[in-house]
Amino acid sequence: RVFTLLAPFSNVAARTNIISVISSAITCWLVFIVIIRVARRLPFNSDKSPSFLTQIGIRIAGLAGALILAFSDTFWFNGVETEVFAIAMLLMMLIIYLAIRWADEKEQGGGDRLIILIGYLLLLSVGVHLTVLLLIPALFIFFVLVDNTKLKDILFWFTWAILFAVVVPFYFFVGMIFPWADNNGYVVWMMLMFLGVIFTGIMAFQKKIGTAVKSHLNYELAFSLFAVGIMG
């Protein structure tokens, strides 16, 4: 709606089409940045201050990867039509970039604010295209491999399972056993979301004021993920 009002074209179709053009362009830029960040994490580039030639090589690789995506057949034609795929690709690349940036910051003692942002963007993407949710298994594995505390935090596992129950295989098995749950999947999912935010919110508050039983479970992160998931 915003683009139909603001874009500097007389044709409404061209105004909405420019959304895909801009989304595709930003996606290619993010691919360039992601390749650079990933290359810096590779074993051959363990030096904290890489040489000038190494930096040039990494940037050439990033540029090559971005251009290969830009001129690939499917991506190009999705970028010149009024469709949802370009925006979905933008969200996917943005989430991948945020995950890698979180890993970089985590290794330097950073927190989990970017995971919360990722959770919000993933649930928000349901309004664009469900393809973005295909990132979930890879993201979860990436999180627990980078941060061992999350590997041992069963609450982190349950939180992600509930947040994205529409795509994990367990949901379909439950639907086969309980037909009512399958026919009312959205109701069940929202109930789990609200129960999750209430339970983790209470536990996080009790932990903060010191009345909860000592636990290694990260109730604060789980509460934040459930809250932004509902918002998304």
- Say what the pLDDT of residue 118 is: 95
- Say what the pLDDT of residue 46 is: 60
8 Å CB contact between 62 and 36: yes
- Say what the pLDDT of residue 170 is: 56
CA 95 – CA 194 distance, rounded (Å): 24
- Say what the pLDDT of residue 3 is: 85
pTM, to two decimals: 0.85
Indicate the helix (H) or strand (E) that contains 97: helix 85-106
CA 203 – CA 115 distance, rounded (Å): 20
Phi and psi based region of residue 185 (left: phi greater than 0; alpha: psi -120 to 50; beta: remaining): alpha
CA 102 – CA 130 distance, rounded (Å): 23
Q: 152-176 burial, b for 16+ CB within 10 Å, e for fewer?
A: ebebbeebbebbbbeebeebeeebe
- Say what the pLDDT of residue 207 is: 80
Question: At which residue do the structure tokens 């989304």 appear?
Answer: 23
Please enumerate in sequence order all residues whose Cβ is within 8 A of that of 157, keeping only pairs 6 or more positions apart, or say none.
none
| Average pLDDT per consecutive 10 residues, the chain (232 residues; last block may be shorter) | 82 89 96 92 67 86 96 93 94 96 88 93 90 88 90 87 64 66 71 87 83 76 90 90
8 Å CB contact between 159 and 196: yes
8 Å CB contact between 94 and 30: yes
8 Å CB contact between 90 and 198: no
Amino acid, single-letter form, for residue 57:
G
3 state DSSP class of 46: coil
CA 70 – CA 82 distance, rounded (Å): 17
Phi and psi based region of residue 72 (left: phi greater than 0; alpha: psi -120 to 50; beta: remaining): beta
- Say what the pLDDT of residue 134 is: 85
- Say what the pLDDT of residue 166 is: 53
